[in-house]
Protein backbone atom coordinates (compact mmCIF):
# COMPACT_ATOMS: atom_id res chain seq x y z
CA UNK A 1 0.00 0.00 0.00
CA UNK A 2 1.28 3.45 -0.91
CA UNK A 3 0.56 6.26 1.55
CA UNK A 4 0.77 9.84 0.38
CA UNK A 5 0.68 12.96 2.50
CA UNK A 6 -0.29 16.36 1.12
CA UNK A 7 0.19 19.81 2.59
CA UNK A 8 -2.85 21.95 3.39
CA UNK A 9 -2.13 24.06 0.30
CA UNK A 10 -1.98 20.95 -1.93
CA UNK A 11 -5.26 19.63 -0.51
CA UNK A 12 -6.91 23.02 -1.06
CA UNK A 13 -5.69 23.12 -4.68
CA UNK A 14 -7.18 19.67 -5.29
CA UNK A 15 -10.50 20.73 -3.74
CA UNK A 16 -10.58 23.93 -5.81
CA UNK A 17 -9.87 21.98 -9.01
CA UNK A 18 -12.96 19.89 -8.37
CA UNK A 19 -15.11 22.64 -6.86
CA UNK A 20 -14.69 24.93 -9.87
CA UNK A 21 -14.68 22.26 -12.58
CA UNK A 22 -16.71 22.99 -15.68
CA UNK A 23 -18.20 20.66 -18.26
CA UNK A 24 -16.27 21.13 -21.52
CA UNK A 25 -18.20 18.68 -23.69
CA UNK A 26 -21.49 16.81 -23.39
CA UNK A 27 -23.25 14.44 -25.75
CA UNK A 28 -26.46 12.49 -25.28
CA UNK A 29 -28.04 10.70 -28.24
CA UNK A 30 -30.80 8.15 -28.39
CA UNK A 31 -30.08 5.31 -30.79
CA UNK A 32 -32.58 3.94 -33.30
CA UNK A 33 -32.97 0.72 -31.33
CA UNK A 34 -34.05 2.60 -28.17
CA UNK A 35 -30.64 2.64 -26.52
CA UNK A 36 -28.48 5.64 -25.72
CA UNK A 37 -24.94 6.95 -26.20
CA UNK A 38 -23.69 9.64 -23.84
CA UNK A 39 -20.43 11.23 -22.77
CA UNK A 40 -18.93 14.24 -21.03
CA UNK A 41 -15.56 15.77 -20.17
CA UNK A 42 -14.70 18.35 -17.53
CA UNK A 43 -11.85 20.76 -16.83
CA UNK A 44 -10.71 18.76 -13.79
CA UNK A 45 -9.97 15.67 -15.88
CA UNK A 46 -13.20 13.76 -15.37
CA UNK A 47 -14.36 11.90 -18.47
CA UNK A 48 -17.20 9.48 -19.05
CA UNK A 49 -18.47 7.56 -22.07
CA UNK A 50 -21.36 5.14 -22.00
CA UNK A 51 -23.46 3.15 -24.42
CA UNK A 52 -26.76 1.58 -23.44
CA UNK A 53 -28.21 -1.04 -25.74
CA UNK A 54 -31.49 -2.85 -25.26
CA UNK A 55 -31.49 -6.61 -25.54
CA UNK A 56 -34.22 -9.18 -25.16
CA UNK A 57 -33.61 -11.52 -22.24
CA UNK A 58 -35.61 -14.59 -21.27
CA UNK A 59 -36.87 -14.28 -17.67
CA UNK A 60 -39.32 -16.02 -15.38
CA UNK A 61 -42.20 -13.68 -14.51
CA UNK A 62 -44.16 -13.47 -11.24
CA UNK A 63 -46.52 -16.21 -12.46
CA UNK A 64 -43.62 -18.60 -13.06
CA UNK A 65 -43.94 -18.29 -16.83
CA UNK A 66 -41.03 -17.70 -19.14
CA UNK A 67 -41.16 -14.45 -21.11
CA UNK A 68 -38.91 -12.09 -23.06
CA UNK A 69 -38.13 -8.68 -21.57
CA UNK A 70 -36.19 -5.79 -23.02
CA UNK A 71 -33.26 -5.13 -20.66
CA UNK A 72 -30.64 -2.35 -20.82
CA UNK A 73 -27.01 -3.48 -21.11
CA UNK A 74 -24.32 -0.91 -20.33
CA UNK A 75 -20.79 -0.53 -21.69
CA UNK A 76 -18.58 2.39 -20.82
CA UNK A 77 -15.63 3.95 -19.11
CA UNK A 78 -14.83 6.81 -16.80
CA UNK A 79 -11.57 8.56 -15.98
CA UNK A 80 -10.79 10.52 -12.85
CA UNK A 81 -7.73 12.43 -11.61
CA UNK A 82 -5.70 11.24 -8.64
CA UNK A 83 -4.19 13.63 -6.09
CA UNK A 84 -0.70 12.98 -7.51
CA UNK A 85 -1.72 14.29 -10.96
CA UNK A 86 -2.10 10.90 -12.65
CA UNK A 87 -5.39 9.60 -14.01
CA UNK A 88 -7.25 6.35 -13.43
CA UNK A 89 -9.58 4.82 -16.00
CA UNK A 90 -12.23 2.23 -15.25
CA UNK A 91 -14.06 0.28 -17.94
CA UNK A 92 -17.33 -1.48 -17.21
CA UNK A 93 -20.00 -3.57 -18.83
CA UNK A 94 -23.13 -5.39 -17.77
CA UNK A 95 -24.36 -8.78 -18.86
CA UNK A 96 -26.67 -11.49 -17.59
CA UNK A 97 -24.43 -12.01 -14.54
CA UNK A 98 -24.24 -8.38 -13.38
CA UNK A 99 -21.80 -5.49 -13.65
CA UNK A 100 -18.09 -5.98 -14.33
CA UNK A 101 -15.28 -3.44 -13.83
CA UNK A 102 -11.85 -3.48 -15.42
CA UNK A 103 -8.84 -1.25 -14.88
CA UNK A 104 -5.08 -1.48 -15.15
CA UNK A 105 -4.78 -1.09 -11.38
CA UNK A 106 -7.52 -3.60 -10.46
CA UNK A 107 -6.75 -7.23 -9.68
CA UNK A 108 -7.88 -9.78 -12.25
CA UNK A 109 -9.61 -12.95 -11.12
CA UNK A 110 -7.98 -16.18 -12.26
CA UNK A 111 -9.61 -17.90 -15.21
CA UNK A 112 -11.74 -20.95 -14.49
CA UNK A 113 -10.52 -24.22 -15.94
Whether 63 is in a domain gets the answer yes
Whether 90 is in a domain gets the answer yes
Whether 5 is in a domain gets the answer no
Buried b (16+ CB within 10 A) or exposed e, 13-23: ebeeeeeeeee
Whether 15 is in a domain gets the answer no
Q: What is the pLDDT of residue 24?
A: 96
Structural domain containing residue 86: 23-102
Whether 67 is in a domain gets the answer yes
Distances (CA, A) of 22 to 19, 43, 89: 9, 5, 20
For the chain, the distance separating the N- and C-terminal CA atoms, rounded to the nearest angstrom, is 31
With a cut of 50, say whether residue 1 has pLDDT above it.
no
Q: What is the pLDDT of residue 19?
A: 83
Q: What is the pTM of this model?
A: 0.74
Confidence label for 48 from pLDDT (cuts 50, 70 and 90): very high
Whether 17 is in a domain gets the answer no
54 in Cβ contact with 35 (< 8 Å): yes
With a cut of 70, say whether residue 111 has pLDDT above it.
yes
Whether 64 is in a domain gets the answer yes
With a cut of 90, say whether residue 62 has pLDDT above it.
yes
* Backbone dihedral angles phi then psi of residue 11, each to the nearest 5 degrees: -65, -40
Mean pLDDT over 23-37 rounds to 95
Whether 30 is in a domain gets the answer yes
Mean pLDDT over 67-87 rounds to 93
Amino acid sequence: MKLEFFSDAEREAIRDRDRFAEITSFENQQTQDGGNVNSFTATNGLERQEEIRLQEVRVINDDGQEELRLVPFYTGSFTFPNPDGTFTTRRYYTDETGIHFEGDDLPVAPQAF
